[in-house]
Amino acid sequence: MKSYRKEVWFNVPTRRAFINITPKVEECLIESGIKEGLILVNAMHITASVFINDDEPGLHHDYDVWLEKLAPHQPVSQYHHNAGEDNADAHMKRQIMGREVMVAVTNGKLDFGTWEQIFYGEFDGKREKRVLIKIIGE
Ligand code: ZN
C-alpha cells in the first residue's frame, strides 16, 4: 500500500471565504501515483472547514447568510469564548460545515457524485492556515 501526505497553506484576505480546492486535491492525487484508494482532506484549524458541495456562487452566498444567522459574528460580547478573542462564531460555523471529507479514488480519479466539488471554508481569515491531504491505496 502506498501512502501520501501533503499540507496545503491558505491565507485568505477576508474574514470568511469559500475556496474550491478540488484542482489542488487532484494535483496531489496525480503526484501520489495512487489509482485505487481513499483520500482524506481535513482542515487543521478549529475555525475552518472542508466540505463537499456545488460550486455555485448563489449557494455560497446563501451559506454565508445562513451561517451568520445561526452564529452572528457581532456583537462579539455575546459569546463567553470571546473573553480575550473574537472568533466564537467561527468555531460554531466550522462545526456546522464540518472538519473533513473522504473521497474514493477510482482509476486514478476522485470518484465524485454529480456536481460534487471540495471546498475550504474559512471563518476567521487573514492568517496562515493549512489543510491536510492524505491519500492511501495502490
Ligand atoms: Zn477561539
Q: What's the grid cell of residue 124?
A: 476567521
57-70 helix and 88-97 helix, angle to the nearest 10 degrees: 130
Ligand 1: centre distance to CA 9 (Å): 20
C-alpha closest to that of 101 among 123, 126, 133: 133
Superfamily of domain 2-137: YjbQ-like (2.60.120.460)
Cβ contacts of 86-89, under 8 Å, gap ≥ 24: 87/47, 87/123, 87/124, 89/123
107 and 114 Cβ atoms separated by less than 8 Å? no
- The model's confidence at residue 13, banded by pLDDT at 50, 70 and 90, is very high
Answer for the pair 55, 105: CB distance below 8 angstroms, yes or no. Answer: no
pTM score: 0.96
Centre of ligand 1 to C-alpha 65, Å, is: 21
Residue pair 39/105 in contact (Cβ under 8 Å)? The answer is yes
CA-based diameter of the chain, in Å? 51
Ligand 1 mean position, distance from CA 113 (Å): 34
Separation of 88 CA from ligand 1 center, angstroms?
5
- Quote the ligand 1 centre to 3 CA distance (angstroms): 33
Q: Cα(91) to centroid of ligand 1, in Å? A: 6
* Phi then psi dihedrals of residue 9, to 5 deg: -100, 145
If one counts every other C-beta atom within 10 angstroms of the C-beta of residue 127, the result is 11
Percent of the chain whose pLDDT exceeds 90: 100
Q: What is the pLDDT of residue 47?
A: 98
The C-alpha atoms of residue 70 and residue 38 are separated, in whole angstroms, by 33
pLDDT at residue 43 in the model: 98
pLDDT per residue over 29-67, tens digit each? 999 999 999 999 999 999 999 999 999 999 999 999 999
